[in-house]
A and B are shown apart, each in its own frame.
Chain A
Amino acid sequence: AQSVAQPEDQVNVAEGNPLTVKCTYSVSGNPYLFWYVQYPNRGLQFLLKYITGDNLVKGSYGFEAEFNKSQTSFHLKKPSALVSDSALYFCAVRDIEGSSYKLIFGSGTRLLVRP
């Protein structure tokens, strides 16, 4: 069965410092991996995805993520955090081998960037 783990409920970082939001996954085959961000009282906004190819994926707002197959991880990173990055971040996975279009979401990580 597919699953996603976001081990940290909250990540705190100072503005200007690098940030990492962790995600690990479990699928029976190869994964499609996604990151979404949710601001208060808003829907989920797509940040980036890994489908195939280069393990380092660049996305919106300066975010990037690295796919690591051996560690089954897809951590979200940004070199320099902004206060406006404070939000709830979700990692999601879909199993390529399955016929379902179902996305499995992690529990979310709240990012707090302090000025």
Chain B
Amino acid sequence: DAGVIQSPRHEVTEMGQEVTLRCKPISGHDYLFWYRQTMMRGLELLIYFNNNVPIDDSGMPEDRFSAKMPNASFSTLKIQPSEPRDSAVYFCASSLRGAGETQYFGPGTRLLVL
């Protein structure tokens, strides 16, 4: 299996622009998670989906952030408008159903907002 795939790997944009991050989970996984990693706040869960339905979006920072999962093999995280404080590494992870199941992480998207 190719693992979790994320694109782009790097993104540099200017403040105010729209940013879209993409994720393809491992085939057959029921759960998809979006995380953000920064030096100040560490790893934070932003939102997670079960069978394409958002379950917990309490970690989404504000209305500028939105996430969708139109089908089992694709998810997007969108920031509109972007701000410099959104600069971070964004990870997508997926897992099978089951509370003890392991989450498998993608390589991440490094976002820099100027």
Number of residues on chain A facing chain B (CB within 8 A): 23
User: Tally of A-B residue pairs with Cβ under 8 A?
Assistant: 50
- Residue interface bits A1-44, CB-to-B below 8 A is 1, else 0: 00000000000000000000000000000001010100001111
Centre residue among A44, A49, A51, A52 by max chain B CB count within 10 A: A44
- With A103-B45, A105-B42 as given contacts, are A43 and B99 in contact (CB-CB < 8 Å)? no
Q: In chain A, residues 84-115, which have Cβ atoms closer than 8 Å to a Cβ of chain B?
A: 90, 94, 96, 100-103, 105-108
Counting CB contacts under 8 A, is B100 at the interface? yes
* Minimum distance in angstroms from B87 CB to a CB of chain A: 15
* Minimum distance in angstroms from A28 CB to a CB of chain B: 14
Q: Please measure, in the bound complex, the distance between the C-alpha atom of A90 and the C-alpha atom of B44, giving whole angstroms.
A: 13
By DSSP majority rule, is chain B's interface helix, strand, loop, or mixed? strand
Excluding A44-B93, A103-B33, A106-B42, 13 further A-B contacts by CB distance (< 8 Å) are A41-B110, A43-B108, A46-B102, A46-B103, A49-B102, A90-B43, A100-B56, A101-B50, A101-B95, A101-B99, A102-B48, A103-B45, A108-B43
